[in-house]
Structure 1
Amino acid sequence: MEIGVRFIPNLDHARKEIELIGSDPGGCSLMTPKAVHRVFKISGLNPKQANIVKQEMLARGGEAAVARGVVNQSVEKSDVLLMGTTKQYRTFTDKLKIQPFGLSKLAAKINEALAALEGYGVRLLNCRGKELELGRKTLIMGILNVTPDSFSDGGKYMVPELAMEKACQMAEDGADIIDLGGVSTRPGHQEVSEEEELRRVIPVLEKLAANVKIPISIDTWRARVAKEALESGANIINDQWALRADPNLASVVADYKVPLIMMHNGQDTKYRDVMDDMMSFLKKSIDMAWEAGVPQGNIIVDPGIGFAKTYEQNLEVLRRLRELTLLGCPILLGTSRKSVIAKTLNLPADQRVEGTGATVALGIASGADIVRVHDVKEMTRVARMSDAIIRGII
């Protein structure tokens, strides 16, 4: 006799493992939801809510950790850590739907979270006539800065001909998307006017649109720049402020029916919990996009490594990246040559390829669907190797 262990990430994986045992179809259907275990943290419940949640979860064989003062109502609020199988959650949320104190809304949120953790499968993303396949392999976004002061490649590609040459090389090296930016976001950067951003971006964009076959993303938070870029051939909007800097951007994205990347950002590094606060920030931005008419299928989220986070917080976000899948959106990860690598390895920007490779590989293992990189050829190889292991793509 031998014993092994299986890590079951979702229902599809569970079903396959049970089928391999040789169980009959009926038994397979019954056992599959018992094989997937989920742990959810619910924040800010009052004692009445927390007591009901705990008792209902215990009644179904699951578990719920609450604050000590919940039973005698000596605390005003309590977080709750729910632990159970997907089968237990199904019957738990069914019962929660008929409970008072706003718990029916909590049941709906838990069901949404369960669905998000199962993944969105493989689907096509329409980028104004150019399609990207999401979910089958990791997509590579090549960085093209037309700025004089970007931390890694500032000033190199200001001339449209040089920028086009670089973009074509990245496409040949394996890039699926070119991300064009006209404003530096490095620490201590100086803000530039809208007119200057347009002056830098539009001539390059027009040349790329005429000569590069893969989609072009425009890295901007300004509605006017986004609109003129889309008119000039851009296919995707990449907003480093997630609609907070210019709320009018949402309606531009909705009008042109393009994918929208929204990155977590902020003014300081004070968080109750960096991942929980990031999730709340991005959820609000997703709601803003929905209200403007941007469909869920066109939204991509980015944790914003290096933005409004300390060194330790950046590492924590990378360690807990999989939690972002709870939002139900594809994840873009941008770690290329960033300070978290510099501080870990004590290396200048042009010597951080191995550190970038480590973050890319581990990011893919944690659910990243797109990686934004400078070193396209090298990171394409890292992604392909990671995909072979994680996604089974050979």
Structure 2
Amino acid sequence: MQMYGMRWVSLDNLEEAKIALAQIGSDPGGIAHMAGKALGRAIKLEQVPLWVAHILKQEMLSVGGDAAVHRNVIINKVEATDVMLLGTVRQLGQLSSKILAQPFGLKKVGHDLKQLLAALEPSKTRILKCRGTELKLGERTLIMGILNLTPDSFSDGGKYYSIENAIAQAKRMIEEGVDIIDIGAESTRPQHEVVSAEEEWRRIEPVLKTLLEQVATPVSIDTYKASVANRALDAGAHMINDIWGMQRDPDMARVVGEYQVPVIVMHNQEGTNYHHLMGDMLAFLRKSIELAEEHGLSGDQIIVDPGIGFGKTTEQNLEVMARLAEFRTLGHPVLLGTSRKSMIGKTLNLSVDERLEGTLATSILGVVAGVDIIRVHDVQANCRAVQMADAIVRMQRGGHYVGA
């Protein structure tokens, strides 16, 4: 019996769908009409009021899709329900257009749905301005190198505590291909010793000023203290990396806003209890994004970090790693930091100095998930692994680079 070469074709986004249809020889007008039918999406909304859920269910059915809701919605026995919109990209696009004119806050839902669908497409090449230096996003995955100026860091505490060793390490990372240098002066390992703002700045100042004089690579400051960020930015630092997403120090958003520099906002919390792991994390990061936007930052200037190893069990960290691509729905660049972390050590039963291969595996998964920046200790090895992964992942199925 003739099987006609039947096979499954993996299509992850509209661009790939268009390429596949073009290779068949479809009419360009038909390609534009059909591409969105090739991709299924599941979009979750949480705690939607009952009457809104009814409208979403009705409108999804009208465009040929569906919406999963709580079983008691049909008999009006719940006040609110989570909703899972199930349909193709084309159907979801039709839904977003239809509900833009609806009441009950549905206009906002329609607007957000359009933005979310766009965020799931491959990112285009664009320039991130960092106070006179520029980073190109979307063309390849960038590497941020970790420079710890701490005596008690979990991984390399005390190794680069002297100015000479720190500068030498920074220059070594630049030779190995790093795109950003991230300076941290307070350990964030479990049970770490809290460092005063004065002591933190005392450690950072000489290294930062020397680096800015000697290298052109953008320098990030890893701090959650607004006073340290202010001093560092005044000295010429290019961006801020806040492990508390600007939610620990109430002045941080104001400081970053005054200098209009890129900011990395990481998810963090005390303890490991969640209502919905991903839902709670995304809600936290949305609050950080709102803080940044209230102080004049927008788009690529706000970089989100899922915070692997912070406020999460090993199992929760592994789940977040498996769902990294979901952070793209926030519509901002994503940074991943897993280097030598306990998630790797506990999974593989390895000490800190034996976690390179585990780190490389997570870095490659980050590339596959579409993250923009990987934060690592071992620059050369990660650069090579990421470059190889980029050559595969960022080359569209069908023949051209995403950013081209």
Category of TM-score, reference length = shorter chain: over 0.9
Distance 1:337 1:155 in 2: 16
Residue 385 (structure 1) aligns with: 388
In the alignment, does 2:272 pair up with 1:269? yes
Code of the aligned partner of 1:8: L
Q: CA deviation at 1:36?
A: 2.4
Q: CA deviation at 1:289?
A: 0.5
Q: CA deviation at 1:284?
A: 0.9
Residue 327 (structure 1) aligns with: 330
Residue 351 (structure 2) aligns with: 348
Distance 2:84 2:286 in 1: 20
Equivalent position to 1:14, from 12, 17, 22: 17
Q: CA deviation at 1:247?
A: 2.5
8 A contact 1:250–1:294 mirrored in 2: no
In the alignment, does 2:152 pair up with 1:133? no
Code of the aligned partner of 2:22: E
Which deviates more from structure 2 when the two are superposed, residues 165-174 or residues 80-89? 80-89
Distance 2:354 2:93 in 1: 50
Code of the aligned partner of 1:140: I
Residue 111 (structure 2) aligns with: 108
Deviations 1:332-383 (A, max 9, x none): 0000000000101111111100010111111110121111101111111110
Distance 1:224 1:153 in 2: 26
SS at match of 1:68: coil
Which deviates more from structure 2 when the two are superposed, residues 214-223 or residues 85-94? 85-94
Code of the aligned partner of 2:267: H
Distance 2:126 2:353 in 1: 35
Residue 212 (structure 2) aligns with: 209
Q: CA deviation at 1:3?
A: 1.4
In the alignment, does 2:48 pair up with 1:38? no
8 A contact 1:183–1:192 mirrored in 2: yes
Residue 65 (structure 2) aligns with: 62
Deviations 1:114-162 (A, max 9, x none): 1211243111111111111111111111100000100011111111111
Distance 1:61 1:126 in 2: 43
Q: CA deviation at 1:95?
A: 2.2
Distance 1:376 1:275 in 2: 29
In the alignment, does 2:89 pair up with 1:81? no
Q: CA deviation at 1:297?
A: 2.4
Distance 1:385 1:240 in 2: 29
In the alignment, does 2:312 pair up with 1:309? yes
Residue 235 (structure 2) aligns with: 232
Residue 224 (structure 2) aligns with: 221
Superposition TM-score, scaled by structure 1 size? 0.97
Code of the aligned partner of 1:259: P
Q: CA deviation at 1:170?
A: 0.5
Code of the aligned partner of 1:271: Y
Deviations 1:178-224 (A, max 9, x none): 10001100000011111000000011101111112211110011111
Distance 1:130 1:231 in 2: 16
Q: CA deviation at 1:38?
A: 1.4
8 A contact 1:176–1:214 mirrored in 2: yes
- What are structure 1's unaligned runs of at least 5 residues? none
% identity of equivalent residues = 52
Which deviates more from structure 2 when the two are superposed, residues 71-80 or residues 327-336? 71-80
Q: CA deviation at 1:296?
A: 2.0
8 A contact 1:119–1:328 mirrored in 2: no
8 A contact 1:120–1:328 mirrored in 2: no
Deviations 1:89-125 (A, max 9, x none): 2221222223332222221221121121124311111
In the alignment, does 2:339 pair up with 1:336? yes
SS at match of 1:83: strand
Residue 260 (structure 1) aligns with: 263
Code of the aligned partner of 2:173: M
- The number of equivalent residue pairs is 393
Q: CA deviation at 1:295?
A: 1.9
Distance 2:242 2:369 in 1: 23
Equivalent position to 2:379, from 368, 376, 379: 376
Superposition TM-score, scaled by structure 2 size? 0.95
Q: CA deviation at 1:276?
A: 1.0
In the alignment, does 2:169 pair up with 1:153? no
Q: CA deviation at 1:286?
A: 0.3
**Cα-Cα RMSD:** 1.2
Residue 96 (structure 2) aligns with: 93
- What are structure 2's unaligned runs of at least 5 residues? 396-400
SS at match of 2:286: helix
Code of the aligned partner of 1:388: A
Code of the aligned partner of 1:131: E
Distance 1:182 1:164 in 2: 14
SS at match of 2:72: helix
